[in-house]
Amino acid sequence: MRGRGMTLAETMAVIAIVAILLAILVPVLGSARRRAYATDDLSRLRQLGQAAALYHDQTERWPRGVPDLDDARLVPKELAVSVLDHSINGITNEMAALWGQDRRPSSPNKVDYRLSFIGQRELRLNEDVVDKWIVSDTSGGWLVDLVESKRGRQPDYSDASGTYKRLQYDGSVVSRPFTSLDCSFKAQVQPCRMPLTMFVDPSDEMKQWIKSLG
């Protein structure tokens, strides 16, 4: 004898239960995946920090970007890419391409591989400025990770929101909000952001120096 099939009401009840379970599980799984990606991102930064310490031991100077470590054959290029970076060529190269459209003289340097983490060299920070304001400061770092920040319309992230990560010289990774400072422009003081301040917590002395640059 043939068994009784499911009625329409029973079928709808099963569909409803499955939909409820999916509504519960999908956000949980998505959150777990984001946490796993963030953990992987942090692990990459820490490995780069360890490589930077080796680089410093060998050269008596700090790297100014991942390409320095790559040139010294201390890290594989694959370590320079964050799983959270969904841009085609990496955030650094994407920033350089957008900057290049404006033909700015201080456009970031591009590399021939995907690069997610931005160093001082990529933003062309002056070495004397780096030595004076970043290396000598306990909050100073040589690499920043912008993958979890929200970029605005400016290619240099000058109007970005949220937070970013900084890999400091001591190997620690800290999260920081974007900092706006008072800058002088045509005899007027107005808020601005400078790439320099992504690599260090600006001191009062630095703030006064930046304000005087105009």
State how far Cα 176 lies from the chain centre: 11
Domain limits of the chain?
17-212
Name which residue leads in pLDDT, 99 or 45. Answer: 45
Percent of the chain with pLDDT over 90: 35
What the block records as the tokens of 188 is 């007027």
Q: Please compute the mean of the pLDDT values over residues 159-170 and round it to a whole number.
A: 91
Tell me the CB-side half-sphere exposure of residue 101, using CA atoms within 13 A: 8
Cα(99)–Cα(109) distance, integer angstroms: 10
Q: What is the pLDDT of residue 28?
A: 64
Q: What is the pLDDT of residue 1?
A: 47
Q: What are phi and psi of 182, to 5 degrees?
A: -85, 125
Res. 186 pLDDT band, cuts 50 70 90: low
Element (H, E) at 173: strand 173-177
3-state secondary structure of 185: strand
Give every CB contact of residue 27 below 8 A, 6+ residues apart in sequence: none
Q: Are the CB atoms for 141 and 199 separated by under 8 Å?
A: yes
Q: What is the pLDDT of residues 194-214, one digit of tens each?
A: 888 889 998 889 888 877 776
Res. 143 pLDDT band, cuts 50 70 90: very high
Sheet strand arrangement including 117-119: 117-119, 141-145, 163-168, 173-177
pTM, 2 dp: 0.78
Percent of the chain with pLDDT over 70: 85
Q: What is the pLDDT of residues 105-134, one digit of tens each?
A: 455 567 788 899 999 988 888 899 999 999
Name which residue leads in pLDDT, 7 or 149. Answer: 149
Q: What is the pLDDT of residue 102?
A: 45
